Amino acid sequence: MQKQLKNGNFYLGLAILMMVILFISSSMTYQQQSQVSSIQKYLAHEPLKDFFSRISFDYAGSEVSIAAKGYDKFIEFFIRKAAHFMTYFILGGSLYLGLSPKLKQKSSVLSLFFAWLAATGYAALDEFHQMMTGGRTPLFQDVMLDACGALTACLLIVLYQAIKKR
């Protein structure tokens, strides 16, 4: 296992697994993925509703607020966007750690660029795939959110490696 970690194959395998999970997820309709019934069940008392009621912003041309969406869909919005960020955080970080040994550590910037570019490209393809799936809306803003997740992971790893070298 130590050799798999050093040569990056484990991380590339993790990246491939994440891509499969993302592909399966984007093949599902909104109704198949909806968490609204779980939110209604577990958050029936609408905790922090007063606090969340003060939050309102636009995302992809739609208002995101409790007034516009209702409590359950408002909470689901944040769960779905956190899932976007975190899955691409894992994908970007895995790609970076998988590609770094392959590029012989010549440049962490080059590894970062290719990992981020690959994850962002996959995010764009994933949104295109969603366009082909019924009941789904592809959003450029989601690609940007995904790209931010991937870049954040890459930058945190570079920072960690720099601190570790000192």
**pLDDT tens by residue, 46-66:** 999 999 999 999 999 999 999
Please give the DSSP secondary-structure letter assigned to residue 43.
T
Give yes or no for a contact between 141 and 60, defined as CB atoms under 8 angstroms apart: yes
Q: Which of 79, 81, 55 is nearest to 142 (CA)?
A: 81
Q: What digits encode the pLDDT tens for the residues 104-157?
A: 656 778 889 999 999 999 999 999 999 888 788 899 999 999 999 999 999 999
Distance CA 4, CA 77 (A): 37
Q: Which of 156, 145, 158, 18 is nearest to 91 (CA)?
A: 18
- Tokens describing residue 5: 């970690």
- pLDDT of the residue at 135: 81
Q: What is the residue-averaged pLDDT of the chain?
A: 92
A 10 A CB-CB count for 6 gives 10
Enumerate the domain spans of the chain: 2-165
pTM: 0.91
Give yes or no for a contact between 85 and 149, defined as CB atoms under 8 angstroms apart: yes
